[in-house]
Amino acid sequence: SASQIGLMGLGTMGSALALNIAEKGYDIAVWNRTTAKTKDFVVEAGDLASRITPCESLEAFVNAIERPRTIILMVPAGAPVDQQIADLEPYLAPDDLIIDAGNANFNDTTRRMRDVKFPFLGVGVSGGEEGARHGPSIMVGGAKENWERVAPILKAIAAKHEGEPCADWMGEAGAGHFVKTVHNGIEYADMQLIAEVYGIMRDGLGLGASEIGDVFDRWNEGVLQSYLIEISGKVAHTEDAASGGPLLDIIEDAAGQKGTGRWTAIEAQHLASIVPVIEAAVAARNMSARRGQRRDLQDVFGAAPQGVDSASIPLDKLEAALICGKILCYSQGFDMIATAFAQNGWDDNLPGIAKVWREGCIIRSGMLDDMATALAEQPGRSLMASPLFADRLKATEGALRHVVVTAMAKGLPIPALSSALAYFDTMRTARGTANMIQGQRDFFGLHGFKRLDDGSENQHGPWASN
C-alpha cells in the first residue's frame, strides 16, 4: 500500500524523525541522496522496517506516497533545500505539500513560500536527535490550511506536555522558522548564563567539576528545572577515562556554532528589537573562539584577580541570579517575537509558543509552563510585568546585582549576566539619559528634539550662539 508520508534526507535528524513517524503507526517512504544510507537505515530500523518503504530514485519515492502527497525535507539548510525542491518538482502534483523541517533561515522560508509552486510549510524542529526520535517540539509556519493537513501526524510525533502535543501553528510564511530561530537565540543565552555561573563556581568559588555538577543537580529540583540545567549537571559529573579526571576540565574552551543564534541577533537588529542577552551570548561564543588572542592578552595584562570569598557569593544567591537572568533573557525573546510578528502582519500567539517549548526542545523547562500562563494573562505586555514574573524578578534582582558586582570586581567575565542586569536597569528607569544624545544630535546635525515641558516636536537648541 502507498505510504502516508515521505521523508527525504536520512542524516541524523531525518533518520530519527522517520523512525518516530513509523513508530506512531504511519507508513513512510524514505529517500536519501546516497542509496547506501537508505539501505542501512532500513536494516537498522528493525521492527519498524515493515512501515518503511526505502526508495532509490526520486520517481520511485514520489510514486510510493499516497496523494495528495506530504513530503518532509530534512536536508542541510540553504542551497540544498532549493536544489531538492527543484529536483522534486517534475514528479509532483499541484496539491502536493512540501515541508522543510530543517533549520532554515526564516527569510529563505518566506521567500520559498512565495516562489515554490506547491503548498509549502517551514517547520522548526527542536530537540536534537533524541527529540526527533521520541518527541520533538514542532513550530509550524505557512498557510493554516496546510498545517491542518498535517496537524494529526505532527501532533502524533511531537513531545507531549501532560498529554498536550508540543506542535502548533505559529503563523504565516516564515513564522515557524522564525520562532525556531528565536528559540535558538534563547538557547544560546540560556547556555551562556549557565556557563557564566559555572565560571563563577569554578574560578570564583574554587569548586571542582563534580561539586559543580551536584549544584546543578540540586538546582534542577527547583525553579531552574530544565533540560539545560539537567545536562549541565551530567556534563560536569562525567569522568574522562583517559585522564581519570572530569571530562569537562579537558574540553577546549572554544564554543562552536552553526549560526542560528547569530541569525537571532542579526534579525533583532533589523527589527530594532532588544535582545542584549542573546547578543552577549553570541559575542561570548565568538570571544571564546579567539583562544590565541585571549592567551596573548592575558600575557599583556596578567590574569584578572578572580577568586571570591565563598561567603560573598552563597550558592542560593547564585541560583537566584541565574533565575533572574533567565527571566530577563526569555522576556527579550518573547518581545522579539511580538515585534517581528507585528512587523510582518502575522498574528502572534506568545502563550502558544511558550506551550510548544514546554517539552521536546532544547530550552524546555518548568518555567515555560508558568510563562505560558503569564503571557496569556496580559496580552501585549512584557513577561517582566506579569504578576508572577514581576514577583520573581523582585525577589531575585538583588541577587543578580550582588553576583554581577562581586564577579565584576574580581574580573570574572560575565557578559550575559551583566547585560541582563543592564537591560533590567535600563528598562525599569522611566527617565533615561537619551536627552543628552538628542542634545548632541541637535548640536552637530540640527536633528531636532522634543521638549518635555510643552511636548513640542522638532525643537532646536540655541547651540549656534555658543
Residue 194 and residue 232 in contact, taking contact as beta carbons nearer than 8 Å: yes
The one segment of 68-76, 254-262, 286-294, 322-330 that binds ligand 6PG by CB under 6 A: 254-262
Site track for ligand 6PG across 125-144, x = CB under 6 A: -xxx----------------
Q: Which residue is nearest to ligand 6PG (CB)?
A: 126
Residue type, 428: R
307 assigned to a ligand binding site: no
Q: Using the rule CB under 6 A, which residue among 39, 67, 234, 258 binds ligand 6PG?
A: 258
**Does 117 participate in catalysis according to the annotation?**
no
Q: What is the rounded distance in angstroms from the CA atom of residue 95 to the CA atom of residue 100?
A: 16
Please, which residue, 356 or 393, has the CB nearer to ligand 6PG? 356
133 assigned to a ligand binding site: no
Strand order in the sheet with 120-126: 52-55, 28-31, 5-8, 70-73, 97-100, 120-126, 137-142, 167-171
Chain positions 98 to 127 lying near ligand 6PG, rule: CB under 6 A, are 103, 126-127
Half-sphere exposure of residue 442: CA atoms within 13 angstroms, side-chain side: 18
**Does 144 participate in catalysis according to the annotation?**
no
Please, which residue, 110 or 184, has the CB nearer to ligand 6PG? 184
Q: Using the rule CB under 6 A, which residue among 6, 54, 174, 261 binds ligand 6PG?
A: 261
Pairing of strands 52-55, 70-73: unpaired
Query: DSSP string covering 122-176, please?
Result: EEEEESHHHHHHH--EEEEEE-HHHHHHHHHHHHHHS-EETTEESEEEEESTTHH
CB of 160 to ligand 6PG, least distance (A): 17
The one segment of 70-78, 255-263, 268-276, 407-415 that binds ligand 6PG by CB under 6 A: 255-263
Site track for ligand 6PG across 356-385, x = CB under 6 A: -----xx-----------------------
Q: How many residues bind ligand 6PG (CB under 6 A)?
A: 14
CA torsion 86-89-91-97 (nearest 10°) is 120
| Inter-axis angle of helices 276-289 and 315-344, nearest 10 | 110
CB of 261 to ligand 6PG, least distance (A): 6
CA torsion 184-180-62-16 (nearest 10°) is 50
Cα 116 → chain centroid:
27
Q: Which residues are annotated as a binding site for NADP(+)?
A: 9-14, 32-34, 75-77, 103
Q: Which residues are annotated as a binding site?
A: 9-14, 32-34, 75-77, 103, 126-128, 183-184, 188, 258, 285, 441, 447
Give me the residues that bind ligand 6PG (CB under 6 A), please.
103, 126-128, 184, 187, 256-261, 361-362
